[in-house]
Amino acid sequence: MSLLFNGRTGDKTTRRVGFFQRVVMGGINHLRQALASLGELWRSPLATFMTIGVLGLSITLPSTLYLMVKNTEKVTAGWEQAGEISLYLQSGTTEQQAKQLLVAVSLMTSKIDDARLIPPDIALEEFETLSGLGDSLAYLDKNPLPYVLLITPKAEYLQPEPAKRLLKELEQQSVVDFGKLDIEWLEKLYAIVSIAKDIVWIVAILLCVSVVLIIGNTIRLNILSQREEIAVMKLVGATDNFIRFPFLYTGFWYGFLGGLLAWMLVAFLLWWIQSGVENLAGLYQAEFTISGLDMQALGVILLISISLGLIGSLISVQKHIKEIEPS
C-alpha cells in the first residue's frame, strides 16, 4: 500500500460544518464580495465619480428643501408663541370696569395663558414712540385711545381656527367694543408651508425614481460588459445568486457614497448661508441659527440612498442575469 494511504481506514468519513461556522464563512464570503465590488469601482474612477456625483446631487436637492421647510416651521413656531388677541373696550369704559373684565378673563385659565390691561395714557405713549407723531398728537384735546386688553392664549388656541373661536367668545364679554386677531397672515403662511412640503415630497419622489433608474442603468451596463464572464461562470456551475451578489454590492456602494456626498454638500450649503441668515436676523434684532443635519439625519440619508442603490441594482440584476445563458 502506498505511503499516502498508510494508516488510513477504508471507511468513508464525513465532516459536518456547524451552523456557526456556516454563518462565519458566509459573512466572510459576503465581505470579500463587497470589497471586491468596491475595488471594481476604483478601476474606473471617472465613471464612478460621475455616477456618485449625479446621485449625490439628486439627494442633495430634496434634503436642502426639507431643511428649508424645517427651519421655516421653526420660525413660525416662534411667531405663534408671540401671538396675542387685542380686545378694544368701549369708549367711556371706566378703570374699574376694565379691571373687572381683566379679572373675568384671567379666570379662563383653560384657554388664557396671560392677560394684561393697557391704560389709554400708556397706549398713547407707545403710539407716540412708534409712530414718531409726538408733535401732532400734542394738539389733541383728549386721549382718543380706549382701554386695551392684551390676551395671550394657551398653546392649543394659537392655531388659526381655535384662535378665531376664542376671539369670538371674548368679544361677547361686556364693555368689549371689538377684538382683533391678525390671523390672515398666519393662515397664508401655513398654506405656503403646506405647499412647500408637498413640493418637497414631489421633488423627492421624482429624484428618488431618477436615482433608481440611473443605478439600474449603470448596473445593466456593467452586466453587459461582463456578459462572457457571466456565461462562463454559469457554464462551470455558478448559480444566479452567486453571480448576482457582486452587482448588488456595487449598487450598495453607489448608494452609500452618494449619500455621504449629499450630506457633505448640504453641510457646505448650510455653512455658506449661515452668515447671511445671521445678518438678516440681526436687522430684526433677533437670533436665529439654521438647524442642520445631525447624525440621525445622516443615518436617514444613508439608509434612503443605500435602499435606492439596492433597489436599482436588484431590478437590473433580476432582469439581465437570467437572460445570459452559456451557448
How confident is the model at residue 261, as a pLDDT?
A: 92
Position 251 pLDDT exceeds 70: yes
Per the CB < 8 A criterion, the answer to whether 86 and 179 are in contact is: yes
Position 4 pLDDT exceeds 50: no
What count of Cα atoms within 13 Å lies in the side-chain half-sphere of residue 133?
Answer: 8
Q: How many helices (H) and strands (E) does the chain have?
A: 10, 4
Share of the chain above pLDDT 90, in %: 7
Average pLDDT over residues 88-102: 86
- Torsion angles phi and psi, residue 213, rounded to 5: -65, -40
Within a domain: residue 319?
yes
Is there a single domain that holds both residue 44 and residue 92? no
Within a domain: residue 147?
yes
How confident is the model at residue 159, as a pLDDT?
A: 74
Is there a single domain that holds both residue 202 and residue 319? yes
How confident is the model at residue 257, as a pLDDT?
A: 92
How confident is the model at residue 311, as a pLDDT?
A: 93
d(CA 47, CA 214): 12
Write the CB contacts of 244 (distance below 8 Å, at least 6 apart in sequence). Answer: 317, 321
Within a domain: residue 2?
no
Which of 287 and 116 is assigned the larger pLDDT? 116
Is there a single domain that holds both residue 195 and residue 111? no
Domain that holds residue 231: 31-78+188-323
Is there a single domain that holds both residue 63 and residue 212? yes
Is there a single domain that holds both residue 74 and residue 89? no
Tell the residue number behind the cell numbers 391678525, with chain if given: 182
Average pLDDT over residues 56-69: 85
d(CA 248, CA 240): 12
Average pLDDT over residues 107-112: 84
Is there a single domain that holds both residue 202 and residue 65? yes
Is there a single domain that holds both residue 205 and residue 274? yes
Within a domain: residue 177?
no
Of 137, 157, 177, which residue is a domain's last?
Answer: 157
How confident is the model at residue 5, as a pLDDT?
A: 38
Is there a single domain that holds both residue 98 and residue 53? no
Is there a single domain that holds both residue 234 and residue 278? yes
Per the CB < 8 A criterion, the answer to whether 84 and 161 are in contact is: no
Within a domain: residue 273?
yes
Tell the residue number behind the cell numbers 439581465, with chain if given: 320
Within a domain: residue 6?
no
Per the CB < 8 A criterion, the answer to whether 85 and 153 are in contact is: yes
DSSP result, 132-174: --HHHHTT-SS-----EEEEEE-GGG-SHHHHHHHHHHHTTST
Is there a single domain that holds both residue 72 and residue 207? yes
Within a domain: residue 167?
no
Average pLDDT over residues 34-48: 79
Quote the number of domains for the chain.
2
Is there a single domain that holds both residue 65 and residue 98? no
Is there a single domain that holds both residue 225 and residue 310? yes
Categorize the per-residue pLDDT at 132 as very low, low, confident or very high, splitting at 50, 70 and 90. low
| DSSP code of residue 87 | E
How confident is the model at residue 281, as a pLDDT?
A: 64
Average pLDDT over residues 28-43: 77
d(CA 249, CA 251): 5
Position 3 pLDDT exceeds 70: no
Of 110, 136, 157, which residue is a domain's last?
Answer: 157
Position 284 pLDDT exceeds 60: no
Within a domain: residue 45?
yes
Strands (E), the chain: 85-89, 112-118, 148-153, 176-180
Of 135, 157, 179, which residue is a domain's last?
Answer: 157
Which of 22 and 154 is assigned the larger pLDDT? 154
pTM above 0.75, yes or no: no
Could you give the residue ranges of the DSSP H alpha helices within 44-91?
A: 45-81
